[in-house]
Structure 1
Amino acid sequence: MPARFPTRLRALALAACATLASHAAFAQDDLLVRSRLDRQLFLQVLIGEIELREGEVGTAYEVMLEAAKRSKEEQIFKRTVDIALQAGAGEQALAAAKTWREEMPQSLDAHRYVIQILVALNRPADTADTLSSLIKITPEAERPSIIMNMPRFFSRVADRKATVALMEKVTQPYAEQASTKAAVNVAIGHAWFMAEDTGKALEYARRAHEQDPASEGAALFALEMLPGVAPAEELVVDHLKVKPTSDGIRQVYARILSASQRFADAAVQLEQVTQHQPQVAGPYLTLGALYLELKQSKQATDALVKYLEVAQAAPVKAPAKAETKPATPTKPQGDDDDDDDDASPASAAADQGVTQAWLMLAQAAEQQGDFKSAEIWLAKVDNPQRALEVVARRASLLARQGKIKEARDLIHRSPERSQDDARAKLLAEAQVLRDVKRWSDANSVLASANKKFPNDVDLLYEQSMMAEKLNKLDEMEKLLRKVIEIKPDHHHAYNALGYSLAERNTRLPEAKALIQKALEIAPGEPFITDSMGWVEYRSGNRAEAIRLLRGAYRSRPDPEIGAHLGEVLWINGERDEAKRVWREARAKDSANDVLRETLARLRVGDL
């Protein structure tokens, strides 16, 4: 980086004065507004910016660094460091950051910049003194947070075990202080977690939790280890018992549970959040979505209506329950592009939430067979970007009433803005056909889609499911293995293939290996746990099968999982409990194929 600052300063000062009006935008810059600059410093900063715009990066750096040292303004120091970083001059950036720290020893930002630049220069060991100083100058109330978050500086460092040693060294003076000892254990545990030693990470997380069960930092670290480190969940659950109003932790926990398809467990957490914060809208929307997944349409409707009331700050009246009548398809929404470009991001997000709530309310009404109410909710959606979703829901309503041709025609007529729309239409058509058990037609649609969009794992997976319904098991296996080849972490494919083998009571060791692989990718996922319980049952391990199936059913009380759990309990002689589980499952979905087949095969009479 050349440094020619002194030779041109006087001339540039004159030029700056002459052209100050034409560069008025500089005066509005956050750097200058926030800084308390006198006339000379203002001109010096302006000169530095002009030099930078003219490509004289070295001169700009020198001018800015001198201005920063004279003014002791953090914004000017930051600007100086950024100029060097943008030029790829790491050593000069480090020199400026160190000067900043020397000139302003109480600056937290100066310390952070020095640490981050040293790490970027692959010199993490040199950060020890700055880390120790950062902890020391941080106000005591904020010190635990600084300590807990220190490992994040080193997320890209190759030698992760060296990071553990560094954390132990710089936090040692605070390891026995009452206010910081839990934070120290979180920091060291996080370093071990980054080093992929989950055993030691969990050990330190437990220490931190024992030292301060109410610590949200320890709970957040435990959440970060989920779902891969299953025992960490115990720490989260215990934290919520100690501090029931820890709603931030509850919402993160609910997201993790939902991602693992543990919808019932996630709903429990969000129910608590809505009780503690009844005037916060967001949790009601998520809760409504969870209830829909659980086929609890009445609860979904209540949660979503409440979301609309809070989000719109006005009472919302759900459509009155109507006699089931054929829905009249309305004209598909057009290709209107008149979006509201003036809407703020917050307003746009709120509008998206309201639209999503209307779509889900239509789905809830459909689940209850109330097609008229479903259409009323759909009619509220006027966002062109969601037009295809509305068409898909209307098509589903038609299909549920036996109007298959009309449903398919409605999807076909829907406009396509892109290839993504064309793909979505094919998936929507296949889904409509699946819902009414037109397996062969759905398979044909998906086969056509796979020709148009080759190697699309979602389309391949969906076609494999139709092949299974048509008893084309060789084709199903071929498709699933192709999915795995294209996307080796597609846990649904491993699970589907493993479950299919277990269901046919064949190649059980291979089935177990496939399901185990799926669980490694998605630990705790209820349907995969159900599959593992089923393969254990087929292998003669009833006790283990019951344990796994109970856990899966508790996390997601789906009728199919209930059918499996009931069967193993029945065969094991626990017939009263089996009947109870089957009654619950039948109440959720009496038409479920697996449940009906199970009860018929076992010749179960009255429940």
Structure 2
Amino acid sequence: MNVLATTALLSALLLSACANTDPTPVKVTPTQRPEESAAPNRELSAGLLYGILVSELAVQRGGALAAAPAYLELAKETSDPRLARRAAELALSSGNLNVADEALALWEQQMPDSLLAKQQRVMVLWREGRIAEAEQRMATQLQGADISRAASLFMHVTPLLPRQADPQAAAAAIERLSQQFPRLPEAHFAQAVAAATLKDEAAVERSLDTLAELAPRWDLPVLWRLDAVRKQSPDLALAFLEKELKRRPRAGAELQLAHPRLLVGLRQYEAAREGFATVLKQFPHHPDARYALGILAFQLKQYDEADQHLRAALEAGYVDGPFVRLTLGQLAEERKQLEEAKTWYQAIGKGRHYNQAQARLAAIEVKEGKLEAALARIEGLENDVADPIELLLLQSQLAREAGANAKAYQLLSRGIKQFPAAATLYYERALLADRLNRSHDAERDLRRFLRMKPNDVQGMNALGYTLANRGQRLPEARRLIEAALQQQPTNPMILDSMGWVLFRQGKLKDALSYLEQAYEQMKDAEIAAHLGEVLWRLGQRDAARQIWEEAKQRDPEHKVLQETLRRLKP
């Protein structure tokens, strides 16, 4: 893991640590800032007011980098710790560590008892990589500090450790500082992070062993370590987490949920379901556990159970409620409950899932024979979708689903007039032209597409297949398909095309090899039609009939399959 990624992860985990059981209680202090009482009794002059207003306007316009030095000058002029603090805050937020260091020094000078100023000064020294100075100042602050103060210092330093140019020196400094608090969990966590930066796995494990004893209900260190191990190997991550959970029987929900989530990643779905169910027994209303069980049940086509869990997740306040409603709508569609599906989709307001919900409503309208209403609904998304070509493609897809191929062709033709440089529109129109038996138009659009996107795999395969299907220019068709296959040698659709062009060239045994590979990867009716025809021509008629029968059971209305069976009369 690189330094930036590690730092970002640590920062995110530390910010979310409040969701776990903290090992060290944090004291709540009054909200009034001590700088108010320490501020000098000075009139607000016109010059001072102007300087503050100009600086704040700069901040509002994204100019914190320029405002920080201005505030620093005002703080020097007025000896006002409030201005020094503001200068430090702006300098830190904009990454100007030199100004931050100077502002913090001035703030500390004006308020020698400010623990916050002292702490921020230590953080700046760590961020600048001035480890010796940072250690000295932090050691001074730790002397006589209570547990809460010490914990806060270590937790603020921890995300900065992976950034250090001299990680060896940083790790040594953290180890020395930790000696003042040998049973402070935050200190041991800092040591673990420092050791990980050095790739000292043994030291990391020792720190985690200590943390399991001192803070068995603190999930953060385990989640941090789990992320690193998972990047090495999901199996290693699973073994690591199972070990940690055994010695942390009262771990929080997030850590316990990590176990079945890993199992999902490893495609151990039944074990994952058991894991989520176990978490749910301990946390009966946990929305994430409910949601996961609902999704797994949906995938396994256990629709009643899926519906129950997804509704419960919504009631428990799952973080992405619109997505749960979208899923419940899709679930209702699977159960042929279209009115209920529409209710779920209509409940999704403007936002990330709105367009998808509207697309599903349009698809239902197509099923109900309301194609024009569906097209109008998509047209109404014009202000919500940045790409108008995306809307055109969606409308043509709806028309195809309604069996209105000519209408779909018309929509794409209109789009091409409006967006003549949109290569995707030519490709989609070519596929429709082929369906409409306008093979010359299909060839024309595919050649235009390939001029715009040379060597595109889909385009080369589509043109090669179109030519092969017509039995025309077979050497060119084969060259195109071979070029596509070179880029994607395991793509079943291209393997099918290769088998079909070889069949057209009379090379039946070579064709059979490619078609068998394609069918093994994807049990598609068109591939089955081609494979069956090759087997039929080779005299393996029982095998051909078996392939066709399997395909008929899966997709009895497939046009290529039907045409093949009508022609060969098996």
TM class by smaller structure? 0.5 to 0.7
Which whole-Å deviations, capped at 9, do the CAs of 1:191-230 have from their partners, x for residues lacking one? 35456x4xx35x4443233333324233122133153122
Which whole-Å deviations, capped at 9, do the CAs of 1:24-62 have from their partners, x for residues lacking one? xxxxxx998775538953647998555443676564121
1:258, distance to aligned residue in structure 2 (A): 7.0
Instruction: Report 1:276-425 matches (<5 A).
Output: 276-281=282-287, 284-285=290-291, 288-289=294-295, 291-292=297-298, 295-311=301-317, 353-381=320-348, 383=350, 387-397=354-364, 401=367, 409=375, 412-417=378-383, 419-420=385-386, 422=388, 424-425=390-391
| Counterpart AA for 1:61 | A
DSSP 3-state at the match of 2:381: coil
| Counterpart AA for 1:394 | L
CA distance in structure 2 between the aligned counterparts of 1:463 and 1:445, rounded to whole angstroms: 25
CA distance in structure 2 between the aligned counterparts of 1:446 and 1:464, rounded to whole angstroms: 18
Contact 1:77–1:100 (Cα < 8 Å) also in 2: yes
After TM superposition, the structure 1 stretch with the greater mean CA deviation from structure 2, 36-45 or 363-372, is 36-45
CA distance in structure 2 between the aligned counterparts of 1:260 and 1:452, rounded to whole angstroms: 43
CA distance in structure 2 between the aligned counterparts of 1:277 and 1:358, rounded to whole angstroms: 23
TM-score, with length taken from structure 2 = 0.54
Counterpart of 2:242 (choices 215, 219, 237) is 237
1:145, distance to aligned residue in structure 2 (A): 6.5
Tell me which residue corresponds to 2:222.
Answer: 219
After TM superposition, the structure 1 stretch with the greater mean CA deviation from structure 2, 291-300 or 251-260, is 251-260
CA distance in structure 1 between the aligned counterparts of 2:254 and 2:397, rounded to whole angstroms: 36
1:151, distance to aligned residue in structure 2 (A): 3.5
Tell me which residue corresponds to 2:147.
Answer: 140
Contact 2:365–2:374 (Cα < 8 Å) also in 1: no
Q: Does 1:187 align with 2:186?
A: no
Counterparts in 2 of 1:32 and 1:592: CA distance versus 1, 3 Å: farther
Q: Does 1:151 align with 2:158?
A: yes
Contact 2:379–2:391 (Cα < 8 Å) also in 1: no
Which whole-Å deviations, capped at 9, do the CAs of 1:399-456 have from their partners, x for residues lacking one? 6x596967974665443115535355356568879999999x9999999899866799
Q: Does 1:60 align with 2:74?
A: yes
Identity of aligned residues (%): 16
CA distance in structure 1 between the aligned counterparts of 2:168 and 2:255, rounded to whole angstroms: 26
Instruction: Report 1:160-175 matches (<5 A).
Output: 162-172=166-176, 174=178
Contact 2:71–2:84 (Cα < 8 Å) also in 1: no
CA distance in structure 1 between the aligned counterparts of 2:408 and 2:144, rounded to whole angstroms: 65
DSSP 3-state at the match of 1:212: helix
Q: Does 1:210 align with 2:217?
A: no
Contact 1:185–1:205 (Cα < 8 Å) also in 2: no
Counterpart of 2:491 (choices 475, 500, 510) is 500
Instruction: Report 1:91-110 matches (<5 A).
Output: 91-98=98-105, 100-101=107-108, 107-110=114-117
Structure possessing the higher relative contact order (Cα contacts under 8 Å, 6 or more residues apart) = 1
DSSP 3-state at the match of 1:420: coil
Which whole-Å deviations, capped at 9, do the CAs of 1:490-533 have from their partners, x for residues lacking one? xxxxxxx475389969xxxxxxxxxxxxxxxxxxxxxxxxxxxx
CA distance in structure 2 between the aligned counterparts of 1:143 and 1:123, rounded to whole angstroms: 20
CA distance in structure 2 between the aligned counterparts of 1:44 and 1:254, rounded to whole angstroms: 61
Counterparts in 2 of 1:170 and 1:476: CA distance versus 1, 3 Å: farther
DSSP 3-state at the match of 1:41: coil
Counterparts in 2 of 1:239 and 1:307: CA distance versus 1, 3 Å: same
Contact 1:186–1:204 (Cα < 8 Å) also in 2: no
CA distance in structure 1 between the aligned counterparts of 2:155 and 2:358, rounded to whole angstroms: 49
Counterparts in 2 of 1:503 and 1:236: CA distance versus 1, 3 Å: farther
1:305, distance to aligned residue in structure 2 (A): 1.5
DSSP 3-state at the match of 1:132: helix
Counterparts in 2 of 1:176 and 1:87: CA distance versus 1, 3 Å: closer
DSSP 3-state at the match of 2:325: helix
1:171, distance to aligned residue in structure 2 (A): 2.0
Contact 1:222–1:236 (Cα < 8 Å) also in 2: no
Contact 1:49–1:60 (Cα < 8 Å) also in 2: no
Tell me which residue corresponds to 2:449.
Answer: none
Counterparts in 2 of 1:413 and 1:419: CA distance versus 1, 3 Å: closer
DSSP 3-state at the match of 1:37: helix
Contact 2:123–2:157 (Cα < 8 Å) also in 1: no
After TM superposition, the structure 1 stretch with the greater mean CA deviation from structure 2, 134-143 or 163-172, is 134-143
Q: Which runs of 5+ in 1 are unaligned?
A: 1-29, 69-74, 312-349, 483-496, 506-537, 539-558, 561-589, 594-607
CA distance in structure 1 between the aligned counterparts of 2:114 and 2:485, rounded to whole angstroms: 57
CA distance in structure 2 between the aligned counterparts of 1:153 and 1:424, rounded to whole angstroms: 44
Which whole-Å deviations, capped at 9, do the CAs of 1:219-258 have from their partners, x for residues lacking one? 1221331531222443323333333441132456677777
CA distance in structure 1 between the aligned counterparts of 2:135 and 2:409, rounded to whole angstroms: 62
Which whole-Å deviations, capped at 9, do the CAs of 1:275-296 have from their partners, x for residues lacking one? 4333454654465455545554
Q: Which runs of 5+ in 2 are unaligned?
A: 1-29, 56-69, 429-452, 467-477, 497-516, 518-522, 525-552, 557-570
DSSP 3-state at the match of 2:205: helix
Q: Does 1:248 align with 2:254?
A: yes
| Counterpart AA for 2:190 | A
Contact 1:80–1:96 (Cα < 8 Å) also in 2: yes
Which whole-Å deviations, capped at 9, do the CAs of 1:57-85 have from their partners, x for residues lacking one? 56412145x233xxxxxx56522424666
1:362, distance to aligned residue in structure 2 (A): 0.9
1:365, distance to aligned residue in structure 2 (A): 1.2
| Counterpart AA for 1:278 | P
Contact 2:40–2:80 (Cα < 8 Å) also in 1: no
Contact 1:464–1:477 (Cα < 8 Å) also in 2: no
CA distance in structure 1 between the aligned counterparts of 2:223 and 2:275, rounded to whole angstroms: 15
Aligned Cα RMSD in Å? 5.8
CA distance in structure 2 between the aligned counterparts of 1:226 and 1:95, rounded to whole angstroms: 40
Which whole-Å deviations, capped at 9, do the CAs of 1:130-172 have from their partners, x for residues lacking one? 3434555653256457536533124544x2xx12431222323
DSSP 3-state at the match of 1:223: helix
1:364, distance to aligned residue in structure 2 (A): 0.9
| Counterpart AA for 1:306 | A
Counterparts in 2 of 1:446 and 1:372: CA distance versus 1, 3 Å: same
Contact 1:205–1:218 (Cα < 8 Å) also in 2: no
CA distance in structure 2 between the aligned counterparts of 1:433 and 1:183, rounded to whole angstroms: 61
After TM superposition, the structure 1 stretch with the greater mean CA deviation from structure 2, 129-138 or 472-481, is 472-481
| Counterpart AA for 2:308 | D
DSSP 3-state at the match of 1:227: helix
Counterparts in 2 of 1:251 and 1:475: CA distance versus 1, 3 Å: farther
| Counterpart AA for 1:229 | Q
* Number of corresponding residues: 416
